[in-house]
Chains A and B, each alone.
Chain A
Amino acid sequence: MAKITFIDSQGTARTVEGEAGSTVMETAIKNGVPEIEAECGGACACSTCHVYIDEQWRAQVGDPSPMEEDMLDFAFEVKENSRLSCQIKVSDELDGLVVTTPSRQA
């Protein structure tokens, strides 16, 4: 289990428990975290689970794969720390992870 904090675009933080092996997107959906749409259901086929990774966690979370980079082209306000949350697996190492959601997914 890992605690993951989602900060929405208005600044409200929600901390939820993520199960190791599931994805950050699934953790958000399961817990009703707003501003994550995941239109394609986690197939890395849309860009509606876009999050910004907290600077302190960027190294631990890592960079997007080339395929994920391609999908990020469809996202808006893409930044250096942008990731698609369906492509981040929850693990004990990510306990305490903080991500921010953008104001719009699509």
Chain B
Amino acid sequence: MSEPVKTDVVIIGAGPIGLFAVFELGLLDMKCHLVDILDKIGGQCAELYPEKPIYDIPGIPMTSAQGLVDSLMEQIKPFNPQFHLNEMVESVEKIGDPLFRVKTDQGKVFEAKVVVIAAGGGSFQPKRPPIAGIEAYEGKSVFYSVRKMEAFRGKRVLIVGGGDSALDWTLNLAPIAKHLTLLHRRSEFRAAPDSVNKMMALVGEGKIDFVMGQVTSLAGSDGQVSKAIGKGTDGSAFEIHCDAVLPFFGLTMKLGPVANWGFELKDNELIPVETSAFETSVPGIFAIGDINWYPGKLKLILSGFHEGALMAQKAHRYVYPDKRLVFQYTTSSTSLQKKLGVAPEKPQPARAVAAS
């Protein structure tokens, strides 16, 4: 186990709600580390629809999803949050009153007084194609990501998909694999043109095969696939003999390990919270944004912002049990403005008096 990272708050999820929580916690002097399974900051906003417009952020008539993420990043800059991307929180264990040990799938360990679950629709995980019995092959001969290229040396590899992941791994594994087939449902790809050209060149040189169609079933035994059976785009049936299958059908949201943290979930996917601080049934663990549930809950970004503000007030009690919390406004509080790095040198009167 690696040396634990000690911090005030661990936020699970770096979407807009997790980001704004950094602001509210920061104003109250709490330092945050954020963990997200994606390789980028912004959650769904950045992963699913960065270009799409958002019209219901108060005071901002229109912004794009990525624009909102960028603005939030600028807003929380003074608080210097630490990000741990490409990591999924696997366990949250109570070790004090309150003190939590948070572990990720990459072996990182945090110790924090407060845990904020802002995981939205859950963690983004690879989509599983609807091929009957595919589960039996997963992790043995069907893989949704490549951790070690060497594992595919000398094997017959089938890659399914038409995006950047499918193309990149086709190019990377072609020299290593004994034989490589790329299977996609059409002749157009949504990948970098350069990768497509390189792939086409390999096909032209007879180094790899490209087949147009879709897989309908797998054959094999004990988790070892022997062939993929499919239907060509022209309606013909085909079989591809292979030792490994790599399907790349993008990402979908799954609740993930949160389901095993002992919360009694609402509809098997939402964490119930009370509404004075959006705290879960475990004191010190909060849930804000799309992942929580309470009567009247609306899955809106603005609701998540509100939840974060109330959460921070209660979190302060756990992080600074001996400090009295005085409620202040960023508009007028010199101490808050100092934290934001915007404190004027002289006190500013609310209204300028006209010189007469």
Contacts and interface: CB of A to CB of B under 8 A. Distances in A.
A57 interface: no
Nearest to A47: B250
Interface string B180-193: 00001110101000
B127 A43 contact: no
A69 B189 CA distance: 10
Contact of A104 (B121, B130, B161, B185): B130
Interface string A31-68: 00000000110010111000000000000000000100
A106 interface: yes
A69 B186 contact: yes
Contacts of A104: 130
Contacts of B304: none
B48 A45 contact: yes
* Contact residues on A (Cβ < 8 Å of other chain), bracket: 10 to 19
Interface stretch (A11-19, A21-29, A72-80, A88-96): A72-80
23 contacts: A39-B253, A40-B44, A40-B48, A45-B49, A46-B48, A66-B188, A69-B186, A69-B188, A70-B190, A73-B161, A73-B184, A73-B185, A73-B249, A74-B127, A74-B249, A74-B250, A76-B214, A76-B249, A77-B130, A77-B214, A78-B214, A103-B130, A106-B252
Given A73-B161, A73-B163, A106-B252, 15 more contacts: A39-B253, A43-B48, A45-B52, A46-B252, A47-B250, A66-B188, A69-B188, A73-B184, A73-B185, A73-B249, A74-B250, A76-B129, A76-B214, A103-B130, A104-B130
